[in-house]
Amino acid sequence: MLESLINPKRAEKGPWKMFFIGFLYAFISLLLVHFLFGGDPVLSKFSGLMVVLFCVMFSMPFMYFIFKQEEIEDEETESILGVWKMHKDAIYAFLWLFLGFIIAFSIGYILLHDSNLLNAQIETYCNINSPGQVNDCIQQYSFTGKIISTNALDNGARFLSILGNNLGVMVFTLIFSLIFGAGAIFVLAWNASVISAAIGIFTSYKISEIPLGLIRYMIHGFPEIAAYFITALAGGILGVGVIRHGVGNKKFIRVLLNVIALIFIAVIILVGAAIIEVYFTPLLFQ
């Protein structure tokens, strides 16, 4: 039923519509996990992953059809500028979907007041920002803990930790898009949920301060997710190039050069996003 709410072709013509679809999918995912598994002593421990899983399940039909359409258009693309012109509407749709996920996860997580809902995401946040004190960090940022600021790492170490994590996600995205293009939605939903957990921490779990939290994390969040989608697009182009032309064809060489250029652009964007997150954003949000 839910997958019938939107036509992928209409989404490309009005990418902003995907915000509402993303919001709906994410919020329903939170509700399902909270009410169906919240009281289970075993499954509740994996709530953070199940929230993302439900979100992926809801989004998969749309992602499958949109990637299929984009792969057909790849055959007509001959340059990096052509790649952007051909796929920019799809990328915008993904970004709006991403924003819908984030806002729904942030609001729903705080309203339901269930620490387990994004437990894996909180642990991920702590592994990135306080790798030597993960358990203390998790306890500190629970709903019952006292929210205080932490500077467990100096700026240089944080930069390397964040950049390393983001590059790892980029590689993961590339592999997913090569194996199954629509699988890139997992990276989208997972990163949206991690950012939502970070927004909850930053706002001390106050709904009224979510807009400020969005500004705090979207300054670097949007460039990051854009880089991941560029990577997913590159993986999809490469996969289609191999299938349709083989590795010895001249057309494949052109495709490979486009893919290398796209990945290089994605890496540059991730480096810039990490610099913004570590050195620029803290100056605005002390």
Do 174 and 264 form a contact (C-beta atoms < 8 A)? no
Q: What pTM was estimated for this model as a whole?
A: 0.81
**C-alpha to C-alpha distance for 216 and 107, rounded to whole angstroms:** 16
Mutual angle of helices 210-245 and 47-74, in 10-degree steps: 50
DSSP 3-state percent helix, strand, coil across the chain (nearest 5): 85, 0, 15
Of 199 and 181, the structure prediction assigns the larger pLDDT to 199
Taking residues 106-133, report their average pLDDT. 81
- In this predicted structure, what is the pLDDT of residue 150? 46
Taking residues 257-275, report their average pLDDT. 88
- In this predicted structure, what is the pLDDT of residue 141? 65
Long-range pairs, 75-78, Cβ under 8 A, ≥24: 75/240, 75/244, 77/237, 77/258, 78/254
- In this predicted structure, what is the pLDDT of residue 29? 94
Which residue is associated with the tokens 């709903």? 143
Looking at mean pLDDT, say which of 96-105, 138-147, 274-283 comes out highest.
96-105
Taking residues 178-185, report their average pLDDT. 71
50: pLDDT confidence band, cut at 50, 70 and 90?
A: very high
Residue 207 per-residue DSSP state: G
